[in-house]
Amino acid sequence: MKFEVFTPALLTAAALFTLPAQAQIEVQWWHSMVAVNGEWVNDLAKEFNASQKDYKVVPVFKGNYDESMTAAIAAFRAGNAPHILQVFEVGTATMMASKGAVVPVGQVMKDAGYKFDPGVYIPAVAGYYTAPNGQMLSFPFNSSTTVFYVNKDAFKSAGLDTTQLPTSWPEVALAAAKLKAAGHKCPFTTAWQGWTQLESFSAWHNVELATKRNGLAGLDARLVSNSPLHVRHIENLSNMAKQGLFVYKGRGNVPEASFVSGECAMITTSSGFYGNVKKNAKFAFGLAPLPHYPDVPGAPQNTVIGGASLWVMSGKKPAEYKGVATFFDFLSRPDVQSASHKRTGYLPITTAAYQLTEKSGFYKENPGADTAVNQMIRKTTDKSRGIRLGNYVQIRTIEDEELELVWGGKKTPKEALDSIVKRGNELLERFEKANKG
């Protein structure tokens, strides 16, 4: 009797307990996207959440890249790291070296049962975030690369041809001279000087910036950015600076303002700058690939990406990782990629997305918007796949400091580059030592 009532009740109770939880699994995503890109992040999450019921991605703005790194480190050490963390490209080595703190994306996808084919990704984009054994470590999210912007109206006023933009550094110098003669106070400038003039420059010319495939093959990589080619290039820029053809306008992206305002006629900087120029420039402008030296064999090869990728933190439950994998799968869809690319100017990460965008006529309507992609869609070589160095943030700063001394006339290019190599290698040694374990 009691049994009759008991067992069904027990069975029902058991059933209720073993039913999958109706509550959604939350996936915390810490990012550093501001302004309109912040809206893009929120919209992506909204779209994903609306498309399925099992998982809810919650994007949280955690300051700029330094701040969100610090927040993530503090949270990790306290036991409540987010699931997904957006980390900029120079932090890749740091993330990789923190064994136990991250789970490779390739692994997360595999464990969740998703077929993960690295071949669908654009080589130069995905290669940066891939381990030597081919496993993808982090998910490329917002990638940009170095391109060359030209103020076409300024060119016209100096009598320069606007249909054939300069493709080589000698041509840039010539154009700058003509611009100066026509009265332009700032013919050429550059933003992100370490990235554009040393790092991407190296890959574009298929020479190493550092040994061991620029660090991709091991922690014992050392800088070789004082090679004759590098010295030659910085000397050229230094001479241009002395003649007033190249005007230094600051670190990071600060110089970009001087292009938009019309002050500087040519600038090498990130492809992400495109949206800003399109919206705010009151002059006709053109995009061209990064200039190169035609006499260097193998140039132009491909450029190096900037931007950030998404890392997966360790210590979470398998069901939550499944949510992460589902979200990444969503982000990889060609239509989602294509829409993001069109909206933000960031590079599409799969060839399918690129083709989809091309089919839609986007590049016809926005001439120059495919320059960046074209620079990346080549087959990479061992010397151009990407850069991964420890203490990279500090190395970038050293590059800034030493180059400033060159532009200010306080050091010769050779001295500065030698100093970069010396100081940078000290840091690399320290990083290697600290992360042997």
Which of the residues 46 through 85 are near another protein (CB under 8 A)? 46, 59-67, 69-71, 73-80, 82
Residue 102: enclosing H or E segment and its boundaries?
A: strand 102-103
Contact call for residue 381 and another protein (CB under 8 A)? no
- The residue range among 220-228, 284-292, 349-357, 429-437 that interacts with another protein, by the rule CB under 8 A, is 429-437
Restricting to residues 114-173, name those near another protein by CB under 8 A.
142, 144
Closest approach of another protein to the CB of residue 236, in Å: 18
Instruction: Please check whether residue 214 is in contact with residue 392, taking contact to mean a CB–CB distance below 8 angstroms.
Output: no
Restricting to residues 181-240, name those near another protein by CB under 8 A.
none
Restricting to residues 331-360, name those near another protein by CB under 8 A.
344
Restricting to residues 299-318, name those near another protein by CB under 8 A.
307
Identify the residue whose tokens are 């994007």. 59
**277-296 footprint of another protein as x/- string (CB under 8 A):** --xx-x--------------
- The residue range among 3-11, 110-118, 245-253, 371-379 that interacts with another protein, by the rule CB under 8 A, is 245-253
Tell me the CA distances in angstroms from 31 to 28, 85, 365, one per residue in order.
10, 6, 31
Nearest to 388 by CA among 312, 309, 292: 309
- Three-class SS of residue 348? coil
Nearest to 107 by CA among 133, 86, 87, 81: 133
In the bound state with another protein, the residue whose beta carbon lies nearer, of 340 and 344, is 344
In the bound state with another protein, the residue whose beta carbon lies nearer, of 207 and 398, is 398
Please name the amino acid found at residue 55. Answer: Y
- What is the DSSP annotation of 201-229? HHHHTT--SBHHHHTTT-TT--B-TTSHH
Closest approach of another protein to the CB of residue 294, in Å: 31
Using the rule CB under 8 A, which residue among 170, 250, 286, 334 binds another protein? 250
Restricting to residues 385-424, name those near another protein by CB under 8 A.
391, 393-394, 397, 400-402, 404-405, 407-408, 410
Contact call for residue 37 and another protein (CB under 8 A)? yes
**What are 380's two structure tokens?**
């990479």
Q: Measured between alpha carbons, how far apart are the two ends of the chain, in Å?
A: 65
In the bound state with another protein, the residue whose beta carbon lies nearer, of 356 and 398, is 398
Identify the residue whose tokens are 């053809």. 245
Instruction: Please check whether residue 43 is in contact with residue 15, taking contact to mean a CB–CB distance below 8 angstroms.
Output: no
